[in-house]
Structure 1
Amino acid sequence: MEPVSIRAANATDVPELCRLLGQLFRLEADFSPDPSRQAKGLERLLAADPSRAAVFVAEAGGRVVGMVSLQVLVSTAEGGEVGLLEDLIVDESLRGRGIGTALLAAAEGWARSRGLLRLQLLADRENGPALGFYRARRWGPTQLVALRRAHWRPGPPD
């Protein structure tokens, strides 16, 4: 395999990032691949204030082979800014070669350089390889449960 480099994503990467997100969302029970929706989300992230959001890509041989995104939130518990790490994915044909570790290191470095007090992420509870990956890199579970409500979907009123 060619050497891998990590760099900030740009708008020309969006089609390849959508391809990678398709691989990720096929693994997650809560989401489905939808390249149009994923492209909209990526375009918003890439247009965001660079001190509030970042998308990094792993590139090998001129091809995007992995990605990770982060966004800054304010935590009242921490009394400051924290980061939400999302969409860490490496092309399924290249996993186990250190690319995910390099992407995670880039994300953690970005967070540290901005003084974020912690990073957090959500992972599918059935994705054993992903959970093992994070645990091996000193990420631990919390006692919190993730819940969501999609306000824009039809349903009974509150």
Structure 2
Amino acid sequence: MVLIRESRQSDNHALAQLMGELGYPTSAESMRKRMKAIELNPMNGTFIAEMDNLIVGMIGLRLNNNYEYDDSVVQVVSLVTRADYRGMGIGGALILHAEEWAQARGANAMTLTSGIKPERAAAHEFYKSKGYDINGYRFSKKL
């Protein structure tokens, strides 16, 4: 059974490992700094998935207000499940928890971005299976 809970500072080592699996290698110390800043913003939520007392996944969320319309939206900023635990319903449990968190905060939509690399194809199919549609492009620029 998967347990979803809020993250704690003691999770930073496991979060750093999960970021590495997502393709963003980092240290526990860097993760500690990031999480300290993230936790200061009440519009953010970070949730951990545990199985058998082991951290096996995480989801990071941000509640956003819009210029274009009145409703709020929650963005999935990060979502990752340990590779050896994929296909066990952990990602689905995290998404469901995120959607409930969003609704509790008055949001009526969820968004996320995902790279277009071939290794992201399985993630794209996962998102589609959860009812998410592809509806645009994301542009970015390093400053």
Q: Once the two structures are aligned, what percentage of the paired residues are identical?
A: 26
2:133 matches 1:140: yes
Aligned residues: 140
The residue type equivalent to 2:140 in the other structure is R
Q: Which of structures 1 and 2 has the bigger CA Rg?
A: 1
Q: Which runs of 5+ in 2 are unaligned?
A: none
Larger mean CA deviation between 127-136 and 33-42 belongs to 33-42
In structure 2, how many angstroms separate the alpha carbons of the residues matched to 1:114 and 1:123?
24
Where 2:22 maps in the other structure, the secondary structure is helix
Counterparts of 2:142 and 2:46, CA distance in 1? 25
- Contact 1:59/1:66, CA 8 A, preserved across alignment: yes
TM-score, normalisation: structure 2: 0.90
TM-score under structure 1 normalisation? 0.82
What secondary structure is seen at the aligned counterpart in 2 of 1:6? strand
Residue 111 of structure 2 is aligned to residue 120 of structure 1: yes
Tell me the equivalent position of 1:22: 20
- Is 1:8–1:56's contact at 8 Å kept on the other side of the alignment? yes
Contact 1:75 / 1:81 at 8 angstroms: preserved in 2?
Answer: yes
State the partner residue of 1:155: none
Where in structure 1 are there 5+ consecutive unaligned residues? 26-31, 152-158
Q: Which residue number corresponds to residue 60 of structure 1?
A: 51
User: What is the Cα deviation at residue 134 of structure 1?
Assistant: 0.3
Counterpart of 2:65 in structure 1 is: 74
Aligned to 1:107, the other structure's residue is in SS state helix
What is the alpha-carbon root mean square deviation over aligned residues?
1.4
